[in-house]
Structure formats: structure tokens, C-alpha cells
Structure 1
Amino acid sequence: MRSTSYATLGAFVLVLAVPTSAAADGSVIGGNPVRVSESPWVVALASHDRFGTERSGQFCGGVLVGRSTVVTAAHCLSKEVLGVPWQQVRDLRIVIGRDNLAGRGGQELKAANVWVNPRYDSWTNEGDMAVLRLEKPAGRPAIQIAGRGDAAYRPGTGATVYGWGDTTGEGSYATALRSAGVNVLEDSVCAGAYPGSADGTYKPASMLCAGEPRGGRDACQGDSGGPLVVGGRLVGLVSWGTGCGQAGHPGVYTRASALLPAVSQHGAD
């Protein structure tokens, strides 16, 4: 069950997965392996100190939206996920271009600046966004954020979610990046599924909902902060939901257009 967020459980367990919500080797529930070279803007947030060396210490996903700018979920940098305030995580790294988290390919960069949305509401999950400015340009293609009113947000549109999270909903985490196809859903479907409870409250202005009516394909624990993509444009960040791939409980994403002001203000490019 993927309770409120799709991150990893917390430093004290040294395995990635927070309040149940994101996905792993089968990562991304119902997904398939995909090469990072085909989606170079997908990155992993990692810390060996907090989560060990296995799987590079990955605990969340992120997205390269500029030469030196990464966006992720605010809850990924919360004390609930990290076990300590993020400022105390001395080895926080952004892993870029690494297909297999058990290997050493790609690069690991530090964040020169971290902005976590001070208005993030952990009860409703509204405002679940953070911006990380890298110490130097990643040297890889970034993805464009779909602006407000973009047809990519239209209900019924096919989308793809990416991650290294739990592939089964039972703590089986992936080492290879995976993706799964889902459909953007009507706001009314999400509002009906999440009218307001301890799991969260669906807010259409800043959230997007995607999944399958019968379930089966979804993000899960460990996928938090990772991308939901339509036609080569970023439309959402994995944020929260109830369970993983359950019928009637689609995944909820931070609406990418809501990221634009923060990226403009806190990003490097």
C-alpha cells in the first residue's frame, strides 16, 4: 500500500521507500526496463550515509529540466524520508546517466543550492516540489516542462512514468530504470478517489492524476519525484496515492506547469 508519498522508507531502514507510494527491478508497477540513454533527463537522488551503498543509495527520483537544474518532490527531502533534516545529509547526490544503480556509470553531482517549497502541505500533499541547482552542468539533455494549457494535460492522453522504485508494492526495489504507460485521467476521477483523508486531498490546480481504471500500472515507493512524460514533455512529478497499481486509486502527480515559477526563480538556467 503506497500511503501518502512515493519515497523510500527512511534512513533507519536503509532501504528506499516512505509512506507507501512509488516502484523497483520491476520498478514502476507493471513497467518494463528502459535505458537511461533514451530518457537522459531521469535522475536519482541518493545518499550512502542514509540508505547504504546498495542501489547507489537511491531513495527518490528527479528530473533534469535545465543544464544545471533538477526538480523533485518536496517530501523526498523531508525528515520523514531522510530520518534527519536534509541539511544534515552531507553526501546528498544527484545520480545522472546510470542505467543500473548497482553499477558506477554516469556521474554523481552535488547540489550547490536546494529549495524545498516552504508551502508544501504534508496533509493534503499540495505543493510537493523542490528545485536543486547542480554544482555544475550535467552535460545531458534536459526535458521541457509542459506549460499551462498544453494539450499534453488532456484527459485520455497516454503518458509514461519512470523510476527505480518498488516493482511489486511489497518492497522489491529495482536496480535498472523502468517505465510504464498510464493515461492522464479526468480531474473528477481523482477528486472522487481522493476527496480528502489522511492520504491526501486532490487539488486539480496543482496536481495531476494518471493510471488505469483497473489498476496494474503505476508508480510506487521509491519513484517519488520522478517524471510523468507526454510527447517528450514533463507533465508531472510522482507525488502520492493509496497503494500501488490498485483499481480505483490512481497515482497523483505534482502538475508540472505549477513548477515553472519555482524553476524560474530557483533554477540555474
Structure 2
Amino acid sequence: MRRSLSALFAPLAAPLVTALAMLVILPPPATADRTVVGGHPAHTALAPWAVALASRERFGDARSGQFCGGVVVGPTTVLTAAHCMSRGVLGVNWWEVGDLRVIIGRDDLRGSGGVEMAPRWVWVNPAYDQGGRAGDVAVLTLSQPLPRIYGVAMAAVGDPAYQPGARAAVYGWGDTRGNGSYASTLRATRLRVMPDATCEEAYPGGAEGEYISESMMCAGLPDGGRDACQGDSGGPLIARGKLVGLVSWGSGCAEPGRPGVYTRISAVLSQVTAAG
């Protein structure tokens, strides 16, 4: 018999409030393996809003067909990067992908834990500039609502979470070394929100891309070593317990002087709210 969503999620609901509170104060384990380019193992019990986008039809059975990340921000609303829904990534239009799924509550993509849900609709930001990469956001509307505790709050304009130096963390199942070594289990890595001036200096335009502070933010460490990478696109950047960014682009992975660039959530908040 197929279990209801409430039955599937009930075992996790009780400890989530305490677990989420612990998330902002607990450091990664000292013996954690170094993954997500300088990261550590993470768990959906502590980060229930971190989800995977998948299509076995397009990407095979390995790792549940994962190709991008996403983040739950409402009962039926999941955000990801606009470029994740592009023909360049999928090979076809998103509506031609017959088995597009959002995977929720599955730490290990080789397993069958959690649930897989088909989106009822996908909205891709029509203002997304593939050349300049501005406005890199898409909204997937789920066919059934999730318990509200699975959503994370989005940081509005002026929120202290955007302040340079703020501690942040990015989550995903992407490349762990920058060489195509994709993770099967959820990973996270600790970063710092970086000043716009630093981001503009790193990406002044040209072949490596142009950083636009109005719609982007960047995070990393001055000496590199920690970063999101291929396969993490669309995944969440969390600071002060709120969603501040979506993995968008960058030059290489975890390289000194080349921080990761994220879609600034405050810049697309009104569009996301309307689409969701």
C-alpha cells in the first residue's frame, strides 16, 4: 500500500525543530571526509529543505538520476537555478522530460529513502540572461504539499544574512574534487559571504564572467579550498538560518581568488513569490 506523505514524513517531524537549531551551532565532525570541495557529510534530517532534481531518463539510474540541486521554500514551492531547466543541461526542453522529479529526504542517492515528487509546473525566469547569468532562478511547483517545517525562510533585502563575513553553508550532491567525482550522499561546506568589491574584482567581465551585485552574491574563502561545484547548481546557500543564494556559476571550483557566485535571493524574491 502506498503511504501518504504525512505518514512518510511523520517520523522526522518531531526532532526537526531541535535539529535545525543545532545546525547553526554545531561544527562539522573533526574526522569528516573532505567533500563537496572542502566539505563534510550532511543529512536531510538537519537540512530538510535541501533537495535533488533528477531524471533517470536523461541522466541514468546511478545516483537516482540527479543533475541539480534545489531548495524547498514553501509547502509546494521548490527553487533551483534557471540554467538547470535549460536545454543546455537537459538536452531537451524541460517539459519534454517525462520523469522530472524532486527528491526529498534522501541522503544517499543510491538508495530509495524519502520521496520523489513530480512538479505540477515549472516557471523559469523569463528575464534570465544566459550570457550574463543574471536572474538565474526557476520555481518548481509540487503536485502535493509538504509539511511546512520542510521549507526554509528566504532572506529579504537588508537582512543581516547578506552582510560580508556572515557564516554560510552550501549543500549539494555535486562534484567533490572538481574533476567529475560526484557525491552519492548529501554534502555541505562552510563558507563566508564575501564583499561585493571582492566579487567584482574576481569577475570583472570577459571570459570568466561579470559579477553584478544587484542580482548576485558570492561566497567562499580568501584562499579557496571550499566551494560548490558542478552538479550543485540550484542548491541552497544558507546564512543565519535563511536562504540567501542559489548556486549559479563561478570559475573552476574552490580556487583562490575565484569565489562561487550565487543568485541573490532578495533580488528575485518578488518574482519567486508570485510564481510560487
TM value normalised by structure 1? 0.88
- Residue 243, structure 1, aligned to residue 266, structure 2: no
Letter of the 2:37 counterpart: I
CA contact (8 A) 1:26 1:178 kept: no
- 3-state SS, counterpart of residue 197 of structure 2: helix
Aligned partners of 1:27 and 1:173 also within 8 Å:
no
2:216 to 189, 199, 207: 207
Which structure's relative contact order is higher, taking Cα pairs within 8 Å and 6+ residues apart? 1
Residues 1:74 and 2:82 are matched in the alignment:
yes
What one-letter code is carried by the residue in structure 2 that aligns with 1:121?
Answer: D
Q: 2:72 is matched by which residue type in structure 1?
A: L
The match for 2:206 is 197
User: Cα RMSD over matched residues?
Assistant: 1.1
**Corresponding position of 1:263:** 272
- Counterparts of 1:138 and 1:173, CA distance in 2: 28
Aligned 1:121-132 pairs, distance under 5 A: 121-132=129-140
**Alignment equivalent of 2:61, drawn from 35, 47, 53:** 53
Structure 2 distance, partners of 1:138, 1:169, is 34
Unaligned runs of 5+ in 1: 1-24
Q: Who is 2:18 aligned against?
A: none
Amino acid at match of 2:190: G
2:43 equivalent among 25, 35, 43 = 35
Between the aligned partners of 2:146 and 2:106, the Cα distance in structure 1 is 13
- Taking the TM superposition and a 5 Å limit, the aligned residue runs for 1:77-226 are 77-139=85-147, 140-226=149-235
Q: Deviations over 1:200-244 (max 9, x none)?
A: 211101101100111000000000000000121001000000000
- Residue in 2 that maps onto 1:18: none
Q: Say whether the 8 Å CA contact 1:31–1:180 is kept in structure 2.
A: yes
Greater gyration radius: 2
Say which SS state the counterpart of residue 56 (structure 1) adopts. helix
Deviation, 1:26, is 5.3
User: How big is the shift at 1:148?
Assistant: 0.4
Percent identity of equivalent pairs: 58
5+ residue gaps, structure 2, are 1-32
Q: Give the whole-Å Cα distance in 2 for the aligned partners of 1:211 and 1:82.
A: 28
Structure richer in helix, relative to its length = 2
Tell me, yes or no, if the aligned pair for 1:117 and 1:127 is still in contact at 8 Å: yes
One-letter amino acid of the structure 2 residue matched with residue 201 of structure 1: E
Number of matched residues?
Answer: 243
| Cα drift, residue 27 of structure 1 | 4.5
Output the TM-score relative to the length of structure 2. 0.86
